Amino acid sequence: KNWIALHHWWSSSERLEHWARDYPGITFIVGHAATDFKKIIEKYDNVYQCTCACFVPPFFATMKQMVDVLPAEKILYGSDALDLDFATGIGPIALADFPEKTKEMILGQNALKLIKKLGWNIDLAT
């Protein structure tokens, strides 16, 4: 309960929906930028989308595609670290043509809300 699991995008949306429905205490984050799981992300409170690899079209969704299609509050910054430099994942968000508020949500506010929702006691002051 109150776990986070990375759904690494290699299985079907049916499988992810099964997990999201049957394990509501686990938060699933879809790894690698995509819009394929839109219906599941909208339907289940415990499914989010990360942004890693959003700079590699046509293989993965771009930031614009994700923000245009998915609820912004369900998109989380993903770095693909330590495989890639952190800035590689931040750049496409920071330089995207959408509101600064949306960028702030994706780059950290959504993650902080998720941490609070899960009841994790993390001291962010240190």
Rounded average pLDDT over 100-121:
95
Q: Output the pLDDT for position 82.
A: 80
Compute the C-alpha angle 74/61/105, nearest 5°. Answer: 30
Give the predicted TM-score (pTM) of the model.
0.91
Q: Output the pLDDT for position 19.
A: 95
Q: Output the pLDDT for position 58.
A: 78
**CATH classification for the domain delimited by 3-118, as one of 3.40.50.150, 3.40.50.720, 3.10.20.30, 3.20.20.140:** 3.20.20.140
Q: Output the pLDDT for position 10.
A: 66
- The answer to whether residues 76 and 48 touch, using CB atoms and an 8 Å cutoff, is yes
- The HSE-up count of residue 105 (CA atoms within 13 Å, CB side) is 13
Residue 9: which pLDDT band, with cuts at 50, 70 and 90?
A: low
Instruction: Read off the pLDDT of residues 72-94 as tens digits, 9 standing for 90 and up.
Output: 999 999 988 888 888 888 999 99
